[in-house]
Amino acid sequence: MPQAIFTYRPNAQKTYGLFDEILTPEVLRDICHRITGQNQYQVVRDTSTYNKGRLLLLEWQGTKNYISLSETEIAGRNSSLQSVPTAINIFYADPSANKRLYYYFMPHVGNPFTDYHLFAYKLLMTAGVRFLNIGDYYHGNLQPYSNVDEIIQDRNDNQQSNASNNSSYVSRTIDKIQIYAKVYGASKYESTLLALAVAHIADNPIDLYNICEQDLSQLPQSSLNTLAHIPNLTIHNTSLTFDRRQLFDTPERNELRSSAYTYNLFQRIGYKKCALCGCDIPQIIQGAHIWGVSEISHNVNLSDEEKFVHATNGHNGLWLCQNHHKLFDADILLFSPEGHLLVRDNVPHSSAEYLQTITTSHELPRNILSDDFRWYLSQHNALKTDIHCHRLFA
């Protein structure tokens, strides 16, 4: 029987000989047995460069098995996961027909099973990564996601419980799936993992909005090469500078389809949920400007820079379902300075009864009523002084 061949690079970028130290015979034997069913192996140390992705390669019977190793000291959210996107990129860059990607938990200290880690592991499973020994450390039942709505729900729950996780968002419209993610800082690779997982179960084309810090920022080329393997994915690199041009180059300047504005709403309020009826079906929830883009654009007292800041400010909006958004834009529904829901006096009684039927909240939630939001509301209401209205739920 031919032996399995392990190949690894012993040096980490900052620690000489790290993988010589942690890849003990016991660890190698365990990995070998779990993948090949036998214990005989050879080891090749590649000292040509440092180890990227905490990777170990096991070649066996014509198959290249990539194993991404967890950290041995887990101190925070990204610990045990920060090298995985690099491992994924290296795996996808290999043109071999027979290859597999695994994740292996090294003996460790710390907790690699926080809510965020569990979410990430499910994403990895959905993207096709196999876990070799998770059952040795975690006794819950982790399964890959079966549809995008499950990812949206889990991401929402995870971000509500830990505000520091608010770096990327998944949503959908009627005919598209959207991923909004930063491409800078510690979370710059998260969009790659989300995109790969979503692509495995997507029922619609995917728009990936990479929120760049500046025009010069974008995902590393290795990540872009990985994403190029997804046939139904379109990447949109966007930034405040890009969206500023989009607004100012639009002749009418009465509408801003800005991914930065949507991302800012996600960051401030959280996942899509109508503030007036509680509907959380993302396909019909929209970001509604309070001080409208058309009104902002035609304000002669504002510079172009100020107009753009107001048009993309996350405090200048809220999530509304399509019905309530149209009712608000048509000035049938308004809000008092205190956030109470108002209806026009001249709305027929039967229509008012219908509005009460489809509306479950008579005032805006406190998390929406920031000081900045109230200021935008005052700008909106200053243009509606000729409209007489009363409390819908008076």
* Assigned CATH topology for domain 4-144: Rossmann fold (3.40.50)
113 or 213: which leads in pLDDT: 113
Given the DSSP bridges, would you call strands 63-69 and 99-104 parallel, antiparallel or unpaired? parallel
Helices marked H in 135-269:
148-161, 190-201, 221-227, 240-248, 259-269
Place of tokens 């801003």: 256
At residue 240, the 3 state secondary structure works out as: helix
Mean pLDDT of 350-369: 94
Q: How far apart are CA 158 and CA 244, in angstroms?
A: 32
pLDDT at 75: 76
Domain map (residue ranges) of the chain: 4-144, 147-238, 266-394
pLDDT band of 392, cuts 50, 70, 90: confident
**In the structure encoding, which two tokens stand for residue 294, read together?**
């058309």
Contacts of 386 (CB under 8 A, 6+ apart): none
pTM: 0.87
For 171-184, what is each residue's pLDDT tens digit?
999 999 999 887 76
| Cα–Cα distance for residue pair 12/265, rounded to 1 Å | 40
Q: Which one has a higher pLDDT value, 364 or 241? A: 364
Lowest-pLDDT choice from 12-16, 187-191, 297-301, 320-324: 187-191
Report pLDDT digits (tens) over 115-146. Answer: 989 999 999 999 999 999 999 999 999 999 99
Q: Give, in order, the Cα–Cα distances in Å from 212 to each of 167, 237, 256.
A: 12, 7, 18
pLDDT grade for 259, boundaries at 50, 70 and 90: confident
Is 290 in a helix, a strand, or coil? coil
Q: Give the chain's mean pLDDT.
A: 89
Q: Which one-letter DSSP state was computed for residue 299?
A: -
In which element (H, E) is residue 123 found? helix 115-126
User: Side chain identity at 76, as an amino acid letter?
Assistant: G
Is-contact 42 78, C-beta < 8 A? no
Whole-number CA gyration radius for the chain = 26
- Residue 216: band (very low, low, confident or very high) from pLDDT cuts 50, 70, 90: very low
Q: Distance between CA atoms of 172 and 370, rounded to whole angstroms?
A: 27
Beta strands in the chain (DSSP E): 4-8, 41-45, 55-60, 63-69, 99-104, 130-131, 168-172, 177-182, 206-211, 233-238, 285-289, 317-321, 333-335, 341-344, 389-391
- Model confidence band, residue 254 (pLDDT cutoffs 50, 70, 90): very low
Burial of residue 375 (number of CB atoms within 10 Å: 0-12, 13-18, 19+):
middle
**Residue 43 CB partners (closer than 8 Å, separation 6+):** 5, 6, 7, 8, 28
280/153 Cα distance (integer angstroms) = 10
Pairing assessment for the beta strands 41-45 and 285-289 based on DSSP bridges: unpaired
Report the SS3 class of residue 394.
coil
- Residue-wise pLDDT for 43-84, tens only, equals 999 999 999 999 999 999 999 999 999 999 987 666 568 889
